[in-house]
Amino acid sequence: MTKQTRIGKTDLVVNPIGLGTSAVGGHNIYPNLNEEVGKDLVRAAINHGVNFLDTAFFYGTGRSEELVGEVIKEAGKRHEFILATKGGLTLVGNDVAMDNSPAFLKQAVEDSLKKLQTDYIDLFYIHFPDQDTPKDEAVGVLKQLKDEGKIRAIGVSNFSLEQLKEANKDGYVDVLQGNYNLLHREAEQEFFSYTTENNISFIPYFPLASGLLAGKYNKDMTFNDLRKDMPHFQGDKFKKNLEKVEQLRKIANEKNAEVAHVVLAWYLTHDSIDVIIPGAKRAEQVLDNLKTLDVHLTEEEINEIDRIFK
Ligand SMILES: NC(=O)c1ccc[n+]([C@@H]2O[C@H](COP(=O)([O-])OP(=O)(O)OC[C@H]3O[C@@H](n4cnc5c(N)ncnc54)[C@H](OP(=O)(O)O)[C@@H]3O)[C@@H](O)[C@H]2O)c1
């Protein structure tokens, strides 16, 4: 059995390679998604030892939760899987409106329970902070839901350090999910000392920089989804990033590994990070990313990767 790891101070024990499911039913994020392909990649994951699945109401406004829920239901062993979802926002037309009020969060948890076809959620995050609700009040209602057994752990996502501190006034925050990868390393300075000191597990999203760090792209590629507006996919910046990936490829080749595995393994060397949730569009990517578990980086390699992406 794959090595399992505990997420921070929670009692959630998982394979350190989880799965991000924004491309499973996330029609508002990626155009032309095939739902069967999405369900198949979740099946491939759980059949090969992945037991930590990350979804959110926002991904396809509930569709990702529904598809993940269907696959888990069909597998029939709910307790073997750790399901994380996120709520606290609603869509008004095409616009996203945040609402972290206690009443809204309570309803969001009820809605996610239904969509996931389960009677508990292992990890529930506030997806984005809203303007008005005091952060400790928002987390307070999640603590009540935890005491009632509806959720097992409390997360926040896209919070600043100041917002995180307010949210964690009573020490109830278990996980912070934030944008972090080798091309966006701001989280190291902003969060890692606070999260480590407070035993909050940091889960990076976009760990592969939306695919750029998987080592499969070249300078002539174009994108028609959210990547077309991302700064690291633009012009000279994109080319420079690809050059860094080529430097990484040398390290990967020496280890008989692929770039994606070296990148993902590097995150797991951080004290703040217990688990990663790379996304995937096809089953083969899920299986490929599991090879990360075979990569052991030396101190020298860890520092060299750090240097390339400084
Ligand atoms: N909390 C938040 O606000 C937030 C925001 C964003 C994401 N998330 C979560 O974080 C998860 C991960 O982020 P993400 O999926 O957006 O980005 P990501 O993990 O950085 O990149 C995933 C993309 O990389 C490519 N890829 C993955 N494995 C590969 C492999 N082995 N070989 C080649 N290419 C590979 C695929 O794209 P192609 O096939 O197109 O190349 C895949 O869709 C999401 O699924 C979601 O659960 C959370």
Tens-place pLDDT, residues 112-129 = 999 999 999 999 999 999
- φ/ψ region of 221 (left if φ > 0, alpha if ψ in -120 to 50, else beta) reads beta
Share the mean pLDDT of the chain.
97
Ligand 1 contact via 8 beta carbon (within 6 Å): no
Catalytic residues: 59
Buried-exposed string 71-110: b where 16+ CB fall within 10 A, e elsewhere? bbeeeeebeebbbbbbbbbbeeeeeeebbbbeebbbebbe
Q: Say how many Å lie between the CA of residue 93 and the centre of ligand 1.
A: 25
Amino acid 1: pLDDT? 66
Q: Say how many Å lie between the CA of residue 149 and the centre of ligand 1.
A: 30
Residues 6+ apart with CB under 8 A from 249: 215, 259
Average of per-residue pLDDT across 295-300: 97
* Token reading at 9: 């101070």
pLDDT tops 90 at residue 46: yes
Nearest atom, ligand 1, residue 208 CA? 20
**Domain range list for the chain:** 5-214+260-297
Tell which residue, 123, 116, 185, has the closest CA to residue 157.
123
pLDDT tops 80 at residue 150: yes
Closest C-alpha to ligand 1, atom 7 = 205
- State the Cα–Cα distance between residues 10 and 40, nearest whole angstrom: 29
- State the Cα–Cα distance between residues 260 and 217, nearest whole angstrom: 12
- State the Cα–Cα distance between residues 310 and 301, nearest whole angstrom: 14
* CATH superfamily to which 5-214+260-297 belongs: NADP-dependent oxidoreductase domain (3.20.20.100)
Sign of CA dihedral 41, 44, 47, 50: negative
Amino acid 225: pLDDT? 87
Tell me the pLDDT tens digit for each residue of 94-107. Answer: 789 999 999 999 99
pLDDT band at residue 133, thresholds of 50, 70 and 90? very high
Amino acid 84: pLDDT? 99
pLDDT band at residue 92, thresholds of 50, 70 and 90? confident
Tell me the pLDDT tens digit for each residue of 164-215. Answer: 999 999 999 999 999 999 999 999 999 999 999 999 999 999 999 999 999 9
Amino acid 93: pLDDT? 78
